[in-house]
Amino acid sequence: MSPTIVNLVYLVAGILFILGIKGLTKPTTAVRGNMLSAIGMLIAVTVTLLDSEVVNFAYILAGALAGSLIGAVMALRIQMTSVPQMVALLNGFGGGASLTIALAEYFSVLDVDAKSFSDLLVPVALHSGAFGVAEEGTVALISIALTVLIGAVTLTGSLVAFAKLQGLIKKSHGLPGGPIGNGLILVGALVALGCLIVNPGQAVLILSLVAIALLLGLFLVMPIGGADMPVVIALLNSYSGIAAALAGFILGNTVLIVAGSLVGTSGLILTRIMCVAMNRSLANVLLGKMAASGDIVDADEIYAGKVTSAQPDEVAMMLEAAKRVVIVPGYGMAMAQAQHAVRELADAMQAKGIDVEYGIHPVAGRMPGHMNVLLAEAEVPYDKLIEMDRINPTFEDTDIVIVIGANDVTNPMARESEGSPIYGMPILNVDKAKNVVVIKRSLSPGFSGLPNPLFAMDHTLMVYGDGKKAVIEMTTALNQA
């Protein structure tokens, strides 16, 4: 097939990817958008297989079979609570694919018929001209080195992120030198990269670059805490896209560049949204630091004698008299597997003519938009899931807010207490509602470690115990009333 036709087909694939993402701007068109994007992928792959350079199908078939099997099993078996882990793994595989493509391109130019590993390390007389004419050779070489660097960092970084989300790694510690240690590794990687561009024939240089970059990914993500994982996986998502775009520069392939840059910007925008929602800078997250702790707040002083508790059936009586109720879920709800019970409570309320909506904070859950997926799985209609900026003005007209499994994102200290570490973080202003019901095991603090003055307010009732059980009891009492 002629290169002209191949490139025209790649153009069509690029358009389908763009239309696919455009479809994701509305829930009604999203499924179709995903299909369009998949069709784009299918035609891009088909036309590549017809390319005259592709002659050896054994490796392709083996890889495609293994990949399809692993991918399909993962996608069909995964629980919705574990989607962040899967996305972390997919980010890593994306980085791994770009890394191995760059290495394959390098070794195909090097053209050493290595019988053993040590044969590879013998320097070959080679200059950048082998990678392309004049400056193009240097640029191709730089693209290979950068793809290796970013691809390898994405691979190990994502594997660590996966292990943390899955609970395989619980502690968060980095190098003894902290950010300085990581900085030194990065300098080492850049030195290897520079040497490789000057001496392209020395395979030992690219192999050291791979090794250093793999380590860098490991140590970059190690010190970052579990609650910051949404930011990390969004950022690694972006890296995997950038690595793909760079691989496009190596191969002079337009569809790789278009698709890679779309993924790169998507990850960057989500990273920014997450950082803004936590009121933290990206540097601050990456260095694994919380904001300066500010004034020490004594939990006992805030809670002593002021916390009122209630039983689920008392809450049900209140609900019966309400006109508008907002449910504010946090990751705790998913941990308690209470999302189906919550939807049944909402159904019971709606059957009594109560207006029910859900208020979703951007960082609720373990990745951007995670809470929406968990509630969609429990068959909550998506038009009831209201984002922070739209739900906040409605709290004053809300009779009861039910907070379940959320804490820091409702803490009024973020709005009012200037010395507080979370000051300035955008929150759901649930304390503006007429009544607040908080379902929680105890008064223990959230990730910030701060007490929440909301719990001690006069119009707040605490329902202690298991979230799922409490919600089921409320539903039963409401149905009997």
Q: Does 429 bind another protein (CB under 8 A)?
A: no
- Please say whether the beta carbons of 440 and 462 come within 8 A: yes
The verdict on whether 408 is a catalytic residue reads: yes
Catalytic residue among 298, 347, 408, 466: 408
Among the listed ranges 295-303, 332-340, 361-369, 428-436, the one in contact with another protein (CB under 8 A) is 361-369
**Contact pick of 2, 3, 4, 113 for another protein (by CB under 8 A):** 113
Q: Does 187 bind another protein (CB under 8 A)?
A: no
User: What residues numbered 15-74 form the site for another protein, per CB under 8 A?
Assistant: 17-18, 20-22, 24-28, 30-31, 34-35, 37-38, 41, 44-45, 48-49, 51, 53-57, 59-60, 62-64, 66-68, 70-72, 74
Q: Contact letters (x/-) for another protein, 77-106, by CB under 8 A?
A: -x-x--x--xx--xx-xx-xxx-xx-xxx-
Q: Does 129 bind another protein (CB under 8 A)?
A: no
d(CA 18, CA 26): 14
**Contact pick of 157, 200, 260, 453 for another protein (by CB under 8 A):** 260
The least CB distance from residue 268 to another protein, in Å, is 9
Within a 13 Å sphere around the CA of 449, how many CA atoms are in the beta-carbon half?
10
- The nearer residue to another protein, 219 or 358, going by C-beta atoms, is 358
Short-list 200, 95, 227, CA closest to 157: 95
- The nearer residue to another protein, 175 or 256, going by C-beta atoms, is 256
Write phi, then psi, for 278 (nearest 5 degrees). Answer: -105, 0
Burial of 330 (0-12, 13-18, 19+ CB in 10 A): buried
**Contact pick of 257, 354, 425, 457 for another protein (by CB under 8 A):** 257
| 96: helix, strand or coil | helix
Supply the DSSP string of 263-275, one letter for each residue.
Answer: HHHHHHHHHHHHH
Chain-centroid distance of CA 359 in Å reads 20
Q: Does 76 bind another protein (CB under 8 A)?
A: yes
Task: Give the chain's end-to-end CA distance (angstroms, integer).
Answer: 73
Residue 181: both structure tokens together: 């240690």
Q: Does 478 bind another protein (CB under 8 A)?
A: no
d(CA 393, CA 46): 51
User: What residues numbered 273-312 form the site for another protein, per CB under 8 A?
Assistant: 273
- The nearer residue to another protein, 95 or 223, going by C-beta atoms, is 95
Catalytic residue numbers read 408
